[in-house]
Structure 1
Amino acid sequence: MGAPAPVRIGNCSGFYGDRLSAMREMLVGGELDYLTGDYLAELTMLILGRDRMKHPERGYAKTFLTQLEECLGLAQDRGVRIVANAGGLNPAGLADAVRALAERLGVPVRVAYVDGDDLSPRAEELGLGKPLTANAYLGAWGIVDCLNAGADVVVTGRVTDASVTVGPAAAHFGWGRTDYDQLAGAVVAGHVIECGIQATGGNFSFFTEIPDLSYAGFPLAEIHADGSSVITKHPGTGGLVSVDTVTAQLLYEITGARYANPDVTARMDTIELSSDGDDRVRVSGVAGEPPPPTLKVSLNSIGGFRNSMTFVLTGLDIDAKAALVRRQLEDALTVKPAELEWTLARTDHEDADTEEAASALLRCVVRDPDPANVGRQFSSAAVELALASYPGFTVTAPPGDGQVYGVFTPGFVDAAKVRHTAVHADGTRIEIPCATDTLELEPADAPALPEPLAGTPTRRVPLGRIAAARSGDKGGSANVGVWVRTDEQWRWLANTLTVELLKDLLPETAHLPVTRHLLPNLRAVNFVIDGILGQGVAYQARFDPQAKGLGEWLRSRHVDIPEGLL
């Protein structure tokens, strides 16, 4: 007997709000065994938490139901099983809604769900405080149990993003809990496809190389019994699957060589990528280790109230104008907010040919537990300066009230204290045991640096002339992964782009803890910048609150690059 055929697992959602038509496109575009969707992010859990406060029966991604309305019968006809984390804070409620939809459509489907990630009722008992939401990141074995029991649709709450891919693969091949290399390979494949079009050319540094990015196809993974995979997309769809587009997604929102999941720790430093034909990239060699004994917990709380005003400063004396209005506004506030931050974006150009190009933006952000301290008391005080401040005074918005903002905090809890449960279509509840073979998560040994390049003439140009980057948020921290395409470029990058140089190139990181990780197989350097996003995305500590443009800023900075590499 030959090796079993690979299982084809597609993705149709990278976030809550992704392309609605993607589910249908993936079902009609080519052969699939499973279709997955990732609808959850740290910010999404806060949004769903506030939704549940108003409507206790909600708390799930409603767009998933919209997609199923058109596609449930199509999936049944094609024999495609659906696994999605769209259940958010209420997977049981979403499962009921899917069943009601199926009954109304006359489509006989078996709907199961995975429960147990919501730790909110026990948050204090577990030492997690009193958050609005507290959700443990579960693994794939509840999904496996539901699929093995015959479910056509499995919805979950907060499982790890890769788990919706690992579950179908493990069920299909009958992997065991200690098949770590196979599970790690599926984690990596899931990590690649979880963010949808980011694997087929979206948000890609060398975007001009991507054909037909106006309507790129979503990715799929052909996963083999040994855990290796081929990342591809349906024929005839836009975008591109290449070693570079896959590398970009592999570096998204990771830390170092060890990528922990509840079922396995994948060694990112063992990944081997190779072309397997047009729009096909083979991922192989992934090694796995036992998972850590704890589960990460996503904690979202209401941090207080926030408001902001943006002043437009035009023409000459920008710094003096900014200093004047800053002094005036701070003197005018009868009650000082708990936090008051100023940022000046020098978007102005000398001798500009348009007024907009001659203008800079001065932004003031205030936060306070009391909404009165950041409401009209603040914004009206800013507007009242209109005829008494710098020449050309104008603001970008009228005065308004403060808005609630959230705070994200990561937590950890002993996996044995989390009740991971698979709930079958007939209501049977199966408790899923946590991993018993575990390994404390420790940083991997740093690899040796490659031999430096011999001294050659250099040219001062943007780093992005030879390097690509991908960046993203992880709570209050951000990562920036930078990679190059040739071994010679790698020798230069690994020896040149140090933590010290990064801090010089990105001055706002100068006083923050920064850790560098080398991934030679990917010719990549990954930086983790702690605290750059304050208390998470909803806190909005900076101009780019999710750090999505951080890598592109880095690529735009000028460095001395050997001419032979350009």
Structure 2
Amino acid sequence: MNRRPVRIANFSGYYGDRYSAFDEAMAGDPVDVLMGDYLAEITLASMSPLYTKDPSKGYITYFLRQIRPHLAALAERGMKVVTNAGAFNPEALANALREAIAEAGVTLRVAHVEGDNLQPRLDELRAAGHRFENLDTGEPLSAWDAEPISAHAYLGGRGIATALREGADIVVCGRVTDASLTAGPAAWWHEWGTEDWDRLAGAVVAGHIIECGPHAVGGNFSGFTEIPGAHRPGFPIAEVAADGSSVITKHGRDPGTVTVDTVTAQLVYEIQGPRYLNPDVTVHLDTVRLSQAGPDRVRVSGTAGSPPPPTTKVALFAPIGHQIVMTVYLTGLDIEEKYELLRTQIRDQVAGPGVDELDVSIIGTVAADPQSQWEATVPVRIMATAREREPLEYANFAGRIGGLFLCSVPGFYYDTGAQRVTGPQPRIEYWPGLLPMAAVEHQVVLADGRRIAVAPPAVTEAPAGQPVHAEPAPYPRARTERAPLGRIAHARSGDKGGNSNVGIWATDPEAWPWLRSALSTDELRRMVPEAKELDIVRHEFPHLHAVHFVLRGLLGNGGSSNLRADQVGKAVGEYIRTRTMDIPVELLARRRAARGR
């Protein structure tokens, strides 16, 4: 057994992340494993129709260009690479990698993990009685008025660990959980058993923290003004120890920083509550402890795990029609009146037969005394959906809106330098289903063609649901000052299907009692009026000084099909931080002093 921690470095947090990240990781500090995450729900949605048209591809093609210059160095250093860049077709990417390796004249063994792609088996699984119950509503898949074109089960890290144990140097996956790209290598390195729950849980937490790349190093962080090198934060490294604890750090040469706050930001990102379900283990996030272990080093410890659920999530996507989005601008006085007239004109022109939904939204406000034309300008976003293409074609939509310019309001225009909106795009809807893990044919395919079946977990526990936390008691009377919440708290928000989650935490432990008391469910409804009628779930993470909310249904049926400009809820947390509250003056003073202001 390897006793020292395994060093796992991230080089991609999503499809479209910094192309140079692989180069940066290779030029950075020594590591044992490079891990790249490219898949998100909205990425799978966008790739689904493309893969349907051309099943020969379906993988992240630019990953090949990223890794190709480094094949010789990988072989020389003995570094492993694990990635989900296989997307819809891990076998094709594995074969393309083998060709590139042969051309480079080096020896690297490539394995791939499959079984996540359930689309070819969907009819068989339905006929066997599997209902693919919706995670949010409990409805069976048969209730969905759409026919899936893709279906991917979320696999755990056992296949990755098996491939590495069999000597693979590069492991290509499709839809494994993001954290499995770290947990699998950690389980291989430390030779953990499948029932080492606490150790596996610790590795899943480490994987969750580094899966989004620069997030843990100061990227997309509400305290960005205090981040050195915030213009180009580097990528994180997880040092996972044999007991499952870890230290989160970064390459010493790269900008950014790793602090308890930057790690907390990622820890509360895209979760449903304290119980974090994974195909290998159920993680109890409320047991996690964070501590600053040195400059750019945060220790993650105390994580408890228990058996995984008997089911895993299945991401199903189906076309439900078409959508189109365009942006125009309004400038000057009487903006509200201009917007109301323009919205009426647009509805009159394009809200005809065949258009299902039309949303015309003004974004922002005009400055009180604008010092430039742009300070006196607001964008207006126009989005429409339809079952058929024809109502959204140029002549029926963009052309008609363009025909308003001489008969609408003054100061109305669009950016003629931008790409012209001509026609609609496919509209893809998401269905998060459930399937017993025993029904998933999880397999590892080695370089020599051997196939190794990965058995489902022998021990599982039906999920007990998220814990219920009581609403807080009022905070003792104190002298207060009206100020934005963000003056005293950080936040990070994201998406889980149609739900938006947001974690809000206090850097100062002295502010935690006030924060947990102030952020009740009713207060959040006041702060986010559009969530007023939604089911809101509230949890507390005392060890993180955090309150966490799930806003069920804020994102409709998922980021790929709702009509919001912030389709995947990434800015919800920053919006909440702008809302003013009565904050104790003592706490505001402590925060100002800590920031040197």
TM-score (norm 1): 0.96
Residue of structure 2 aligned with 1:545, choices 547, 567, 572: 567
Secondary structure of 1:276's partner? strand
Q: Which residue of 1 aligns with 2:149?
A: 132
Separation (CA, whole Å) in 2 of partners of 1:3 and 1:42: 35
**Which residues of 2 match residues 113-512 of structure 1 at below 5 A?**
113-124=112-123, 125-126=125-126, 127=131, 128=141, 130-333=147-350, 334-335=352-353, 337-375=355-393, 376-396=395-415, 400-446=422-468, 453-512=475-534
Q: Are the aligned partners of 1:383 and 1:399 in contact in 2 as well (CA < 8 Å)?
A: no
Q: Are the aligned partners of 1:232 and 1:280 in contact in 2 as well (CA < 8 Å)?
A: yes
Secondary structure of 1:303's partner? strand
Separation (CA, whole Å) in 2 of partners of 1:515 and 1:216: 33
Q: Which residue of 2 aligns with 1:14?
A: 13
Letter in 2 for 1:506: V
Instruction: Tell me by how many angstroms 1:336 deviates.
Output: 5.0
Separation (CA, whole Å) in 2 of partners of 1:448 and 1:330: 45
Q: Are the aligned partners of 1:213 and 1:238 in contact in 2 as well (CA < 8 Å)?
A: yes
- Provide closer, same or farther for how the CA distance between residues 362 and 451 of structure 1 changes in structure 2, counting only shifts above 3 A: closer
Q: Mean Cα displacement is larger for which, 157-166 or 124-133?
A: 124-133
- Provide closer, same or farther for how the CA distance between residues 192 and 122 of structure 1 changes in structure 2, counting only shifts above 3 A: same
Separation (CA, whole Å) in 1 of partners of 2:471 and 2:288: 18
Q: Which residue of 1 aligns with 2:135?
A: none
Letter in 1 for 2:292: S
Q: Are the aligned partners of 1:189 and 1:221 in contact in 2 as well (CA < 8 Å)?
A: yes
- Provide closer, same or farther for how the CA distance between residues 212 and 531 of structure 1 changes in structure 2, counting only shifts above 3 A: same
Aligned residues: 565
Instruction: Tell me by how many angstroms 1:456 deviates.
Output: 1.1
Letter in 1 for 2:402: V
Letter in 2 for 1:383: G
Deviations 1:395-417 (A, max 9, x none): 34656222222212211111111
- Tell me if 1:63 matches 2:65: no
Instruction: Tell me by how many angstroms 1:344 deviates.
Output: 2.2
Deviations 1:415-439 (A, max 9, x none): 1111000111211111111113111
Secondary structure of 2:358's partner? strand
Q: Are the aligned partners of 2:365 and 2:378 in contact in 1 as well (CA < 8 Å)?
A: yes
Secondary structure of 1:232's partner? strand
- Provide closer, same or farther for how the CA distance between residues 3 and 435 of structure 1 changes in structure 2, counting only shifts above 3 A: closer
Q: Mean Cα displacement is larger for which, 141-150 or 391-400?
A: 391-400
Separation (CA, whole Å) in 1 of partners of 2:92 and 2:421: 40
Q: Are the aligned partners of 2:160 and 2:185 in contact in 1 as well (CA < 8 Å)?
A: yes
* Aligned-pair identity (%): 47
Deviations 1:509-545 (A, max 9, x none): 1122211111111111111111112232222421211
Letter in 1 for 2:22: M
Deviations 1:198-233 (A, max 9, x none): 011111111111111233221111111110111111
Secondary structure of 1:176's partner? coil
Secondary structure of 1:36's partner? strand
Letter in 2 for 1:363: R
Letter in 2 for 1:374: L
Q: Are the aligned partners of 1:256 and 1:443 in contact in 2 as well (CA < 8 Å)?
A: no
Separation (CA, whole Å) in 2 of partners of 1:494 and 1:79: 48
Instruction: Tell me by how many angstroms 1:28 deviates.
Output: 3.0
Separation (CA, whole Å) in 2 of partners of 1:9 and 1:553: 34
Separation (CA, whole Å) in 2 of partners of 1:28 and 1:349: 46
Q: Which residue of 2 aligns with 1:530?
A: 552
Q: Mean Cα displacement is larger for which, 318-327 or 87-96?
A: 318-327
Deviations 1:117-141 (A, max 9, x none): 0011122433456312110000011
Q: Are the aligned partners of 1:340 and 1:367 in contact in 2 as well (CA < 8 Å)?
A: yes
Q: Which residue of 1 aligns with 2:595?
A: none
Separation (CA, whole Å) in 2 of partners of 1:147 and 1:167: 9
Instruction: Tell me by how many angstroms 1:109 deviates.
Output: 0.9
Q: Mean Cα displacement is larger for which, 358-367 or 55-64?
A: 358-367
Instruction: Tell me by how many angstroms 1:357 deviates.
Output: 1.8
Separation (CA, whole Å) in 2 of partners of 1:349 and 1:215: 30
Separation (CA, whole Å) in 2 of partners of 1:405 and 1:82: 34
Separation (CA, whole Å) in 2 of partners of 1:532 and 1:450: 24
- Provide closer, same or farther for how the CA distance between residues 50 and 470 of structure 1 changes in structure 2, counting only shifts above 3 A: same
Q: Mean Cα displacement is larger for which, 59-68 or 151-160?
A: 59-68
Separation (CA, whole Å) in 2 of partners of 1:92 and 1:403: 29
Instruction: Tell me by how many angstroms 1:161 deviates.
Output: 0.2
Secondary structure of 1:471's partner? strand
Q: Are the aligned partners of 1:336 and 1:373 in contact in 2 as well (CA < 8 Å)?
A: yes
Root-mean-square deviation (Å): 1.9
| Structure 2 residues without counterparts, runs of 5 or longer | 132-140, 589-597
Separation (CA, whole Å) in 2 of partners of 1:382 and 1:75: 54
Deviations 1:69-127 (A, max 9, x none): 11121111111111111100001111101100000111111110100000111224334
| Structure 1 residues without counterparts, runs of 5 or longer | none
Secondary structure of 2:244's partner? coil
Separation (CA, whole Å) in 1 of partners of 2:342 and 2:234: 49
Deviations 1:171-201 (A, max 9, x none): 1111111110000000000000111110111
- Provide closer, same or farther for how the CA distance between residues 371 and 450 of structure 1 changes in structure 2, counting only shifts above 3 A: closer
Deviations 1:481-530 (A, max 9, x none): 10002332110111111111111112121122211111111111111111
Q: Mean Cα displacement is larger for which, 491-500 or 503-512?
A: 503-512
TM-score (norm 2): 0.91
Secondary structure of 1:532's partner? coil
**Which residues of 2 match residues 74-113 of structure 1 at below 5 A?**
74-113=73-112
Separation (CA, whole Å) in 1 of partners of 2:387 and 2:470: 49
Deviations 1:233-269 (A, max 9, x none): 1223211011111111101101111000000010000
Q: Are the aligned partners of 2:342 and 2:408 in contact in 1 as well (CA < 8 Å)?
A: yes
Separation (CA, whole Å) in 2 of partners of 1:449 and 1:328: 46
Q: Are the aligned partners of 1:173 and 1:225 in contact in 2 as well (CA < 8 Å)?
A: yes
